Amino acid sequence: MRKVLVTGGTGYIGSHTAIQLANAGFEVVILDNLSNSSKGVVARIEELSKRQVDFIEGDIRDHELLRNIFSQHTFDSVIHFAGLKAVGESEEQPLRYFDNNVSGSIVLFDEMIKAGVYKLIFSSSATVYGDPGYVCYSENTPLAPINVYGRTKLMVEDILRDLKKSQPKWQIALLRYFNPVGAHESGRIGENPFGVPNNLMPFISQVAIGRRSKLMVYGNDYATPDGTGLRDYIHVEDLAAGHVAALKTLGDVNPFITLNLGTGKPYSVLEMISAFERASGIKIPYEIVGRRAGDLSEYYANADLAKEILGWQAKLGIDRMCADTWCWQKSNPEGYGID
């Protein structure tokens, strides 16, 4: 059976992907330092996939640990989700972000080479594009991130492009996610941010469950139909399916792929609030406040290439995104709790 090392596999996107990988017949080993996730996720991944999943608590920057893991397992590939992802925090703590996301990735790739594992999927982000002056981003949109987080993602992409040049046997997929939302339809796993959520969807759902009193809508004076920001929200289950498809597609015919994973259809903040109200039956109190520094008014994916190369496209719409988020939130009001 093909074995995959999933770094960051107890996190939001990693946990959903681990289930789909197990369901697709891959053997899954998770490495996560639990800096932004809970150990209890592992049991839920096993419960939902009905398969055993190995979990190793540890850090991708730990050379010795990685060497041990690679000597104990024979991996066919690595999916590298582990990373810090809060844009605001990355501006305040740049060294921490470069160390974790960039140095950590270098350690991982170095140990992969030593172990002879050359197949990798890397979690990149639409933040690598920055602000090109138009709103529909293809993979050819110039790479010019406008924050530290985005620069860490671009640096790792650059490293991987250079690695591929130096050692052609690498097979690499750079997947640039747009805005992942939603949860497993069972409500057993979902997004569980520690502290105050930065992102819209978890904030809305914590307002709905009563953990926060109201949502702040960051600006209604953008040049968009209702004045609020537009984003390309993609259901995490669709995103997870994109990883399984990428893993199956990587090979001699497609040895290096760079793809946007989005729906191509953006929604505004007010549309997301309405959709969540429909799905939950709960009114979401909100207040319009000033724009958030660094926010763009609108952007979304041109997702044609992923369809062409992977035969993949997002299937789940805004109603499922909200219904599944709400199902997760209401059955786990405090997230995974204390493990």
Residues lying near ligand UDP in the complex (CB under 6 A): 179, 198-200, 203, 215-218, 229, 231, 269, 292, 295
User: Which partner, ligand NAD, ligand UDP, none, binds residue 292 by CB below 5 to 8 Å per kind?
Assistant: ligand UDP
Stretch touching ligand NAD by CB under 6 A, among 10-18, 201-209, 247-255, 308-316: 10-18
Residue 50 class from Cβ within 10 Å (0-12 exposed, 13-18 middle, 19+ buried)? Answer: exposed
User: Which partner, ligand NAD, ligand UDP, none, binds residue 332 by CB below 5 to 8 Å per kind?
Assistant: none
Distances (CA, A) of 25 to 51, 121, 130, 227, 248: 10, 17, 37, 46, 12
Residues 6+ apart with CB under 8 A from 158: none
Closest among 180, 211, 219 to 195, alpha carbons compared: 211
Give me the least distance between CB of 162 and ligand UDP, in Å please. 28
User: Which partner, ligand UDP, ligand NAD, none, binds residue 171 by CB below 5 to 8 Å per kind?
Assistant: none
Beta bridge partners of 124: 176
Out of 20, 77, 123, 228, the residue judged to bind ligand NAD by CB under 6 A: 123
Q: Considering only residues 274 through 303, tell me which ones interact with ligand NAD, judged by CB under 6 A.
A: none
Q: Is 299 a catalytic residue?
A: no
* Residue 325 structure tokens: 């988020």
Closest among 76, 302, 290 to 176, alpha carbons compared: 302
Distances (CA, A) of 186 to 282, 319, 328: 20, 16, 8
User: DSSP strand E in 81-167: where?
Assistant: 119-125, 136-137
Give me the least distance between CB of 122 and ligand NAD, in Å please. 8
Residue carrying structure tokens 């669709």: 238
Of the candidates 149, 233, 267, 300, the residue annotated as catalytic is 149
Give me the least distance between CB of 254 and ligand NAD, in Å please. 21
Give me the least distance between CB of 61 and ligand UDP, in Å please. 25
The residue (of 221 and 295) whose beta carbon lies closer to ligand NAD is 295
Which parts of this chain interact with ligand NAD (CB under 6 A)? 7-8, 10-14, 32-37, 59-61, 81-85, 100, 104, 123, 125, 177, 179-180
* Catalytic residue IDs: 149
